[in-house]
Amino acid sequence: KTTDNGLNCKLAATFKKYLYIPQILGSLFRRIRNLRHYCTYLDINYIVRFLALAESLNQHEREYHIYALCLDNQSTKILKILKPNHISLIPLTDLEAFDLKLFSTKPKRHLVDYYQTITPCYLLYIFESFPTINQLTYLDSDIYIFSDPTPVFDEIGKSSIALVPNNFSPNREAQKHHGKFGVSWLTLRRNKHALNALNWFRDKCIEWCYDRIENNKYGDQGYLELLVKTFPNVVQLNRPGIILGVWNIDNFQLNYVDEIIVVSGYPIISFHFQGVWADQSNQFDCELPENYEKHGSIITIQIYETYCKCLFKILSRIQASWPEVNLKRIQRYDLPALLDSQKQLLWSLETVGNVPWNRKKELNAIEEFHQIYTMRPIKDNSGGVLAPHAFALWFMARELAPEVIVESGIFKGMTTWLLENACPDAKIISIDVHLDSREYISENVQYVDQDFSTQDWSNVATTKSLVFFDDHQNAYDRIQQCKKFGFKHIIFEDNFPPLQGDCYSLK
Q: Walk along the chain (507 residues) in steps of 10 and give the mean pLDDT of each run.
A: 57 61 52 84 95 97 95 95 95 94 91 94 97 97 97 96 94 84 96 97 96 88 95 95 92 89 93 87 78 76 92 94 88 58 54 76 91 93 88 95 96 96 96 93 95 92 92 91 92 75 75
C-alpha closest to that of 414 among 375, 362, 368: 375
CB of 122 closer than 8 Å to CB of 70: no
What pTM does this model have?
A: 0.65
Residues 6+ apart with CB under 8 A from 138: 38, 39, 40, 119, 122, 123, 183, 185, 186, 187
H or E stretch at 217:
strand 217-218
- List % helix, strand, coil for the chain (3-state, nearest 5): 45, 20, 40
Largest CA distance in the chain: 107
- 88 to 38, 76, 162, 325, 483: CA distances (angstroms): 10, 11, 24, 21, 53
Q: What is the DSSP string of 341-403?
A: HHHHHHHTT---S--S--HHHHHHHHHHHHHHHTT-S-S--TTS--HHHHHHHHHHHHHH--S
DSSP state of 446: E
346 phi, psi to nearest 5 deg: -65, -30
- Rounded Cα distance, 464 and 454, in Å: 22
Q: Between vectors from CA 485 to CA 480 and to CA 490, what angle results, nearest 5°?
A: 60
Amino acid at 401: A
Backbone CA torsion sign across 7, 8, 9, 11: positive
CB of 89 closer than 8 Å to CB of 81: no
Provide the pLDDT for residue 1.
Answer: 41
- Rounded Cα distance, 13 and 7, in Å: 10
CB of 385 closer than 8 Å to CB of 470: yes
- Rounded Cα distance, 114 and 335, in Å: 9
DSSP state of 35: -
- Rounded Cα distance, 481 and 478, in Å: 5
Provide the pLDDT for residue 2.
Answer: 46
CB of 428 closer than 8 Å to CB of 418: no
Residues 6+ apart with CB under 8 A from 160: 188, 189, 191, 193, 194, 197, 231, 232, 233, 234
Q: Between vectors from CA 439 to CA 436 and to CA 442, what angle results, nearest 5°?
A: 95
Instruction: State the CB neighbour count (10 A cutoff) for residue 496.
Output: 17
CB of 196 closer than 8 Å to CB of 204: no
